[in-house]
Structure 1
Amino acid sequence: MIAAESLNELKTNLREDQISKNEDSSPFGNSGDMVVFPETEEEIAAVLKHADSNGLTINIIGGGTKRGFGGLIEKTDILLSLEKYTGIVEHTPGDMTLTVKAGTRFKDLQDYLAQHNQKISLDPYWQENATIGGIIAVNESGPKRLGYGSARDAVIGLRTVYPDGKVIRSGGRVVKNVAGYDMNKLFIGAMGTLGVISEITLKLRPIPKCESLVLVSFPKGNLEGIKAFAVKVLDSMIEPVSLELLNPALSVKLAGINAYTIAMSFEDVESSVRYQEEFVSNMLPDDAKLLISPKEKADLFWHRFYRHIPNGLDGELPIQTEASIKIGTVNLEAVNVLNETELLQDQFNVEIESHGGLGHGLSQVTIRGAESDVANAAAQVRQIAEKAGGYAIVKHLPLKLRKKVEVWGNKPSYFFLLQGIKTKVDPNKTLNPNRFIGGI
């Protein structure tokens, strides 16, 4: 609980309407006794410096979509909301770069950039709610990572506020920036445990002239045939932006196809897109079916896709407990991972929707069911991932279950490096305590 004198000191840096007592309790935790709404970088720095000097702890929140991702504390002293810290700082269309405040919602950015025929080459979930700062802080990417890359590939510069209030700049505002170490990568994916990302500079790409979605389904569930087809695609001259395998449950939900289905997205000039569609048609296995969707239907498919996973913004828990797990393996191991997780449905009486990138090896499994069944199935998913030589991270789970299920798995061999960096940058454990690997 914040003492009255500490609260009065906060009020010297913020207006009355920027500070409020938090009466709400989120089932996902990662909240705070007091909520502050800074509107400038200076105000963010003042709040952090005050907290760090007075032994207070801070949770950071943007849009709230990732509230169920990591963290074992229900409430810290302060919840730092970037809800009012929004807007575009600089857009240089000719250089195809954009500098933006961290609290700006991703969809708002894409809508603005569309007026200039440009976009950010990322495809996060819940785009209308997720903020660009949150996306960068967790290094989120979607199935189009195959063509777009990850958040680490899109970011060329950051401004970050350290727990002691100091502001540092890493990278720059131009694409060709080779001076010094690439410090950006230190903060991207660090879950806000090293500093508050205040500004992000991103490289952009033009909106493609033509887009289409090619769905290749395998009604017989021939896993070796799926792998062989994926290898042919990856070894060919065509360049799909996504090569994402959906399990039957997710395929039914998104496309009405009750079979393992590969979603291939093409973005280019129309002649190139049509050529690649024809190329896929000619290499189609005998036991596979092809469905080509134009841009309008493709947009609807992806809109559904980016909203199918649980959202930490929800104020109340659904009837069924939900878990979302990210798995990383060697590319084609995603096929086996999806198949093995599929078998868990009957074993634990749960519903499972999953998808995996056959070009980048990242899979995501969503589990819905009774609380204990979901927890047991999640533990089994981790075993499946580790057996395949990969890892599993729980991206969404209610706080009650996060205290029972190890979100990050075993500490990696390089954990001492992460711990050393945290100790150096945030010795008082002010920011997002217990939110990252090993309780960092």
Structure 2
Amino acid sequence: MMISSDLEGVLPKEQIKHHDGKQHILGNGGAQIIEVLSEEEISKVLAYAHKYEKTVNIISGGTKRGYGGTLEQADILLSLAKYSGIVEHSVGDLTLTVKPGTTLKEISDELAKKGQRLALDTPWPEHATIGGILSANDSGPKRLLFGSGRDLVIGTRIVYADGRVIRTGGKTVKNVAGYDMNKLFIGAMGTLGVISEITIKLRPLPKFEGLTLLHFQDGKAQDMRDFTVRILDSMMEPVSLEVLMPPLSEKLTGKRTYTLAIAFEDREKAVIYQENWVKENLPESVEYTILHEEEAREWWERFRHIGPNGHDDDENEANTQAAFKIGSNNLDVIPSLEAAESLALEFNVSVEGHGGAGHGISKVFVKGFPEDIVSFSKALRANVEQKRGYVICTHAPYAIRGTIDAWGEKPGYFPILEGIKLANDPKRILNRQRFVGGI
């Protein structure tokens, strides 16, 4: 169905494009693609969609296109990719207000000029936009010390499904009394409203960066676990305690072992002191590599370019890509990754993965035939759930997402989620079937 002349009268025709007929391998598309350039345009499009009950999918950088969603195509694909840029940078207050279509790289490059940064180390920063990162509450290894987007956002502007605009939080760090409404929208996968502006806390660039890579030999998982407990119980302040599976370690370090990547960021003397503590307390037979400053930054840059990015999925079924997020007790990260390694052999898929031994979030990237990936995912979920963890599929082609069951079974609190959805979007037009339980 074509967009009516009512909407063409609201937006310039060049911002409305009709689908070319070929479905995207990841789905989550739209019969019409509408590019918005302002909050007012977002509001007008949603008011139209609400009035005529048109479904709306939301996209920006496209890195989350394979994340959830059993509706292949909505009536409208709302693109925020051109609604980008910094609104306000308060250098003294260490806060930034930015539009959702701004990529993490654009933000980082601009902040670096003032010696500041946004402490989010999510993958593919040149593609991933701040709106998409927050909608998925995505994060990286350094969430151990800095937290996720949910911990950093202090204010948003939200366009509801009927076009109304609200503000949550504010533009100062101490602004919340009572329930923090920001948290309602972060991680909701765009199902409750469209984020049109974000105010977020910043940090100074680190004075010195160090990365210690500890290589544990086969059969030494308990040594890695014990050492992780020891460093967490110490006075050390690691920025990351990331466990790398052997295939990923080989790609990033040249050594096919389970590797623990420990980052420190502080004054140079403080970093060196902590690195010396690590060396002095290492179990026997553990090899280590230490990188500083530019070498450490280059290593993390390579790390941030692993896994699917929403732009390079292969039509060849043998190279089907999928990604899974595991949430577990932090000390169950190592056995969860070991289980993924073992199941990959059983189901004939290749796997790379890493997990935070301090925060309990792991990511596993899989390649293989679709039917093998589905079998792997079901076995992995069963294994992790035995330890009261969870598995979410964060990337898969549309053709197999429904079979994989991206979010798993509905949680016990699902009626609350559904009630919030119906209160915010009673006609279910926003990112329909994208979130937990088909919300």
Q: With structure 2 as the length reference, what TM-score do the two structures score?
A: 0.98
1:250-271 CA distances to partner (integer Å, 9 max, x unpaired)?
Answer: 1001111110000011111111
Please name the residue that 1:272 is paired with: 270
Distance in 2 (CA, whole Å) between partners of 1:332 and 1:399 is: 33
- Secondary structure in 2 matching 1:221: coil
Shift of 1:248: 0.5
Please name the residue that 1:332 is paired with: 331
- Secondary structure in 2 matching 1:368: strand
AA at the equivalent of 1:147: L
Please name the residue that 1:152 is paired with: 150
Shift of 1:371: 1.5
Distance in 1 (CA, whole Å) between partners of 2:38 and 2:366 is: 39
Shift of 1:70: 0.2
1:17 pairs with 2:14: yes
Higher mean C-alpha displacement, 213-222 vs 409-418: 213-222
Shift of 1:316: 4.5
- Secondary structure in 2 matching 1:372: helix
Shift of 1:283: 0.6
1:172-212 CA distances to partner (integer Å, 9 max, x unpaired)?
Answer: 10001133420000000000000000000000000001001
Q: Any conservation in 1 of the 2:84–2:99 contact (CA below 8 Å)?
A: yes
AA at the equivalent of 2:5: N
Please name the residue that 2:228 is paired with: 230
Distance in 2 (CA, whole Å) between partners of 1:56 and 1:265 is: 47
Please name the residue that 1:73 is paired with: 71
Please name the residue that 2:111 is paired with: 113
Q: Any conservation in 2 of the 1:340–1:384 contact (CA below 8 Å)?
A: yes
Please name the residue that 2:414 is paired with: 415
Distance in 1 (CA, whole Å) between partners of 2:313 and 2:31 is: 17
Please name the residue that 1:8 is paired with: 5
Please name the residue that 1:363 is paired with: 362
Distance in 2 (CA, whole Å) between partners of 1:300 and 1:380 is: 35
- Secondary structure in 2 matching 1:165: coil
Please name the residue that 1:378 is paired with: 377
Q: Any conservation in 1 of the 2:265–2:271 contact (CA below 8 Å)?
A: yes
Please name the residue that 1:304 is paired with: 302
- Counting only pairs closer than 5 Å after superposition, residues 9-408 of structure 1 correspond to structure 2 as 9-23=6-20, 24-314=22-312, 316-317=314-315, 319-408=318-407
- Secondary structure in 1 matching 2:144: helix
Shift of 1:220: 3.1
AA at the equivalent of 1:403: G
Higher mean C-alpha displacement, 186-195 vs 284-293: 284-293
Superposition RMSD in Å: 1.1
AA at the equivalent of 2:10: N
Shift of 1:132: 0.2
Aligned length: 437
AA at the equivalent of 2:353: S
Shift of 1:315: 6.2
Gap runs ≥5 in structure 2: none
- Secondary structure in 2 matching 1:343: helix
Distance in 2 (CA, whole Å) between partners of 1:190 and 1:66 is: 13
AA at the equivalent of 1:429: R
1:109-151 CA distances to partner (integer Å, 9 max, x unpaired)?
Answer: 0000000000001111111000000000000001111011011
Distance in 2 (CA, whole Å) between partners of 1:63 and 1:324 is: 18
Distance in 1 (CA, whole Å) between partners of 2:83 and 2:383 is: 41
- Secondary structure in 2 matching 1:277: helix
Higher mean C-alpha displacement, 308-317 vs 353-362: 308-317
- Secondary structure in 1 matching 2:203: strand
Distance in 1 (CA, whole Å) between partners of 2:48 and 2:313 is: 29
Q: Any conservation in 2 of the 1:67–1:313 contact (CA below 8 Å)?
A: no
Shift of 1:41: 0.4
Gap runs ≥5 in structure 1: none
Q: Any conservation in 2 of the 1:158–1:197 contact (CA below 8 Å)?
A: yes
Alpha carbons of 1:345 and 1:47: their partners in 2 closer, same or farther (altered >3 Å)?
same
- Secondary structure in 2 matching 1:94: coil
Distance in 2 (CA, whole Å) between partners of 1:25 and 1:293 is: 45
1:241-288 CA distances to partner (integer Å, 9 max, x unpaired)?
Answer: 000001111100111111000001111111111111111111111021
Q: Any conservation in 2 of the 1:59–1:79 contact (CA below 8 Å)?
A: yes
Distance in 2 (CA, whole Å) between partners of 1:13 and 1:313 is: 31
- Secondary structure in 2 matching 1:332: helix
